Amino acid sequence: RRKSCHPHPPLCCASSPEGSVSKAPGPLRSSLRATSVSKSDVIPAGDITSTPIPEITDVFPELHTHEHIHQFSLDHPEEFWGQLARSRLEWQREFKTVTAHEPEKAIFRWFPDGQLNVSVNCVDRHARHHPDRVALLWEKDEPGQQEPITYRQLKDEMCRLANVLRASGVGKGDRVALYLPVSPLAVASMLACARIGAVHSVVFAGFSAEALASRIQDAGAETVITTDQAVRGGKVIQLKQVVDAAVAKCPSVRQVFVGTRTESQVKMGPKDIALDKALSCEGTECEPAVQDAEDLLFLLYTSGSTGSPKGVAHTSAGYLLYAATTHKHVFDYRDGDVFGCVADVGWITGHSYVVYGPLANGATTVLFESTPTYPNPGRYWETVARLGITHFYCAPTALRLLLRYEDDWVKRYDRSTLRVLGSVGEPLNHEAWHWFNDLVGEKRCTLVDTWWQTETGGIMISPRPSAPGAPVLPALPMRPMFGVKPVLCEPNGGVVEGMGVDGALCVGSVWPGIARTIYGDHKRYVDTYFSPYKGYYFSGDGAHRDQDGYYHITGRMDDVINVTGHRLGTAEVEDAMMEHPDVAEVAVVGFPHEVKGEGVFAFMILKDHTHESTEEIKNDLRKLVRSKIAGYAVPETFLICPGLPKTRSGKIMRRILRKVAANKPGELGDISTLADPTIVQSIIDAYNENR
Ligand code: ATP
Ligand code: MG
C-alpha cells in the first residue's frame, strides 16, 4: 500500500541542530562510539531575544503583592485566568466566555467558545520566533550520548508524524496508545496527536502486556505507537514484544507503528507498520486541526497506588494554560534556562513538566531516558554538569535511594548551574529534603516540594510562587498556587476552619487544569472526587494547616491510622523514623488492635552497614516517634524487610502492607501495577518468620 520513499532518519535519533543527520549509536554499541558533546554544543545558544514570558506582576501591575494576586485569582477567577489565557496562549479563535461550569453535575468548562491547537502553542509559535533554540535535550541511557532537538526540528518531526497518522485514518477524537521510551519520538507522538485532534494515552513503557492491554481496551484505541526496544539502566526492554502480547488481546487495534530505538530486528505482523518508512513518505507541513478549548487532549491512567487504574481525561486549553503557568511561576522559569524534569513521559509529571508546560513556554526541556543509578549513583549530577541544567525536578523515592550512597557521588560534579530543585510524588521527608537542599543545592537553590495529582493537571501546593524572599521551610509544600483554595474537611463533611488543624484535603475553587472526567465513567469521577465532600473537589489525601497557614501533606486518607481515636497520618511517623541514621526506608500502616482499635505496624529497610543492633534501632525508633509525635504513634511492631512494594512510579503501596500486617495475605488484591510483584512474597515470608 505504501510507496517507497527516501530513507528517513529514525525519530529517536533526530538530526543535529545544524541539520546534518547524526545517527546515534545503539545502546549496546555506545561504548564503542561514544560521542563527546561539549556543553556549548548543546546549551541553547543564549537566544533569548524573543519576548520572554511575562511575570505575573507585569500581567497584573495594579496588584502590588503576591498575597493580592493570589486573593484576586480566587475572587475573580474569570478575569485572572482570562487575562493569562489571552497573554500566554495563541488562539485560533479568541474566547468570549471564560467559564461555563455546571458544578452540580461536576462539569467544568474553561474558555468554551475559544479554539486553539495545543501543538501550535507548544511548537509552531516558538519555531517561528526562535527556530534554532533547543526544545528537547535528549539525555539517553548511556551518559555522554545526549542529542539536542531544536524547535524547528521538533516542528518538522511532529508534522511528519501527524501526516502519517492522518494518512492512516486517525482523526479527531480517536484515541492513540503510546508505549514508548522517553525520547523525542514520544514527545513528537504526543504533539502529533494534538496536531490532528487525536487523543493520546501514554502508557509507561515498563507496564506489562496485561496492563497495557487493559488501558488500550478502556480507551478503545485503534492505533498504537511503539519502538522495537527500549533501553533503561543499561538493560534492553523488548517493547515490541510486550505490544504484540497486548494487541493480541485488543481487537480494537488495527495498526501498530513501530519506531526505532535500537535498530534490532523485530518480528513484524500484519498490523505492524515500520514508522521510519512511513515518515519518509510525508512532508514537514501539517495543517493543525481546529480544536475547541474543551476537546480532549489526552487520557492518562493513574499509577494505581490505591486501586484499579482510572483513565483521567484532560482537555486542551485549560490544561495547557495551567501547566504553562505553574511551570513558569512555581519554578521561576526564565528564557535560557535548561529545565530538567527526570520523570518518565508516562506519568503526569512527564506530561506537564517534561512536555506541555515547558514547551508552551518555549523552554529547553530535558528528556531523561535513564535511571538515577546508571551507570552509578552520580548519574543525575553528572548529567546536571554536562547539560548545564538549571532546574532539577524528581521524586522522593529517588532521593531516598541516592542519599544512601557516599556524598562524593554528588560533590564530584559541578552543580553551579542549578537554581531551582523540585520534588513530587510522595511526601518529602526531612532527611531527603536536607540532603537535596543542603548537599545537592548547596543551600543556595530554592527547593519546591510540590503537591499535586494526575487529576489536578498541574502543581496545586508548593512553596513558590510566593512573595519575594518569603521563607521556604523543609519538607512541606506550604502554599496554594494561584487560583487554588485548599479546604480541610472533617470525616463527616464539615469544613475545618482555623490554624493548627487537620482534615481531608479538598479544593474549594475550580482551576483550569482540573481533570474533566474519568474516561467513559463520569459517575466514577463524581463519586470519587465530588461526592465525599459536597461542593468540593476531594483529593484523597489528608493535610495539616499549621499555625502560619502552611500546608503539610499527612498521607493518603485511606492510609490514615486510627489509634484510640487519634487519627494518624503515615507521613509524619515515617518522617520521624527516617531521621534514624540506620533506616533507609520505612512504611507504616494500621493493623487491627484489640485495645486501641488500630496499632501502628512499621515495615522498614535498614541501611547496608548499620551501626547498632536491631533491638537498639527499634528502641531508638520508639524514642524518636515518642519525642517527635506522641506515645500513641509509636509502632507496636517493626518488621525488617528486603524491600517495600512500590508502583512503577516508585510510590509505596500501603494497601498491600495493610493486608500483610493484618495477616491476610490471601486478600492482597491487584498487584499488577507493582514494579516488582515478587517483593510481596518476601515481605510475607519476613512476616511469618517474625510472628
Ligand atoms: P492512584 O490515584 O491510582 O492511587 P496515585 O495517586 O499514586 O495513583 P498520582 O496522581 O501520580 O497517582 O499521584 C498523586 C498522589 O501522590 C497524591 O494524591 C499524593 O498522595 C501523592 N503526592 C504527590 N505529590 C506529593 C507531595 N509533594 N507530598 C505528598 N504527597 C504527594
Ligand atoms: Mg491518586
pLDDT tens digits for range 362-414: 999 999 999 999 999 999 999 999 999 999 999 999 999 999 999 999 999 99
pLDDT band at 245 (very low <50, low <70, confident <90, very high): very high
CA of 561 from ligand 2 middle (Å) equals: 18
Ligand nearest to the CA of 452: 1
CA of 182 from ligand 1 middle (Å) equals: 21
Residue nearest to atom 14 of ligand 1 (CA): 453
CA of 307 from ligand 1 middle (Å) equals: 13
Looking at residue 275, its amino acid is L
Distance CA 566, CA 485 (A): 27
Q: What is the pLDDT of residue 263?
A: 84
* Mean pLDDT over each residue of the chain, to the nearest integer: 91
Average pLDDT over residues 178-207: 97
CA of 61 from ligand 1 middle (Å) equals: 35
Residue 465, preceding peptide bond in cis (omega within 30° of 0): yes
> Residue 72: is its pLDDT beyond 80?
yes
Distance CA 556, CA 568 (A): 11
For ligand 1, pick from 326, 451, 570 the residue to mutate: most ligand atoms within 8 Å of CB: 451
C-alpha distances in angstroms, 103 versus 106, 530, 537?
Answer: 5, 9, 10
CB contact at 8 A, 446 and 294: no
Smallest Cα–Cα separation from 430: which of 552, 262, 589? 552
Q: Which atom of ligand 1 is nearest to the CA of 539?
A: 18
Over its C-alpha atoms, the chain yields an Rg (Å, rounded) of 24
Average pLDDT over residues 268-288: 97
Tens-place pLDDT, residues 522-558:
999 999 999 999 999 999 999 999 999 999 999 999 9
Q: What is the pLDDT of residue 266?
A: 94
Q: Which atom of ligand 1 is nearest to the CA of 423?
A: 27
For ligand 1, pick from 430, 651, 653, 672 the residue to mutate: most ligand atoms within 8 Å of CB: 651
CB contact at 8 A, 505 and 465: no
Smallest Cα–Cα separation from 487: which of 541, 525, 439, 436? 541
Burial of 198 (0-12, 13-18, 19+ CB in 10 A): buried
Residue nearest to atom 28 of ligand 1 (CA): 427
- Percent helix, strand, coil in the chain, to 5, is 35, 20, 45
Pairing of strands 175-179, 199-202: parallel
> For 399-458, where are the E strands, in sequence order?
420-423, 446-449
CA of 649 from ligand 1 middle (Å) equals: 10
> Residue 48: is its pLDDT beyond 60?
no
Q: What is the pLDDT of residue 4?
A: 57
Q: What is the pLDDT of residue 611?
A: 80
Looking at residue 510, its amino acid is V
Tens-place pLDDT, residues 620-663:
999 999 999 999 999 999 999 999 999 988 999 999 999 999 99
For ligand 1, pick from 302, 453, 505, 559 the residue to mutate: most ligand atoms within 8 Å of CB: 453
In the chain, what's the furthest Cα-to-Cα distance?
76
Q: What is the pLDDT of residue 52?
A: 73
CA of 120 from ligand 1 middle (Å) equals: 30
**Cα 516-519-525 angle, rounded to 5 deg:** 55
CA of 555 from ligand 2 middle (Å) equals: 11
Predicted TM-score of the model (pTM) = 0.93
CB contact at 8 A, 489 and 536: yes
CA of 464 from ligand 2 middle (Å) equals: 23
Lowest average pLDDT, out of 56-70, 122-136, 187-201, 547-561, goes to 56-70
Average pLDDT over residues 591-618: 92
Smallest Cα–Cα separation from 41: which of 63, 66, 22? 22
Check residue 99 and report its DSSP letter: B
Residue 375, preceding peptide bond in cis (omega within 30° of 0): yes
Residue nearest to atom 17 of ligand 1 (CA): 453
Length of the chain: 691
Distance CA 42, CA 44 (A): 6
| Three-state DSSP state, 557 | helix
Give the distance, in angstroms, between the CA of residue 561 and the centroid of all CA atoms in the same chain: 27
> For 419-535, where are the E strands, in sequence order?
420-423, 446-449, 486-489, 501-507, 517-518
ipTM given for this complex: 0.99
Q: 162 vs 25, which has greater pLDDT?
A: 162
> Residue 671: is its pLDDT beyond 90?
no
Task: List pocket residues of ligand 1, CB cut-off 6 Å.
Answer: 302-306, 309, 348, 424-427, 449-454, 477, 539-541, 553, 556, 651
Beta-bridge partner residues of 555: 542
CA of 399 from ligand 2 middle (Å) equals: 21
> For 70-140, where are the E strands, in sequence order?
134-139
For residue 15, report the phi and psi dihedrals to the nearest 5 degrees.
-75, 165
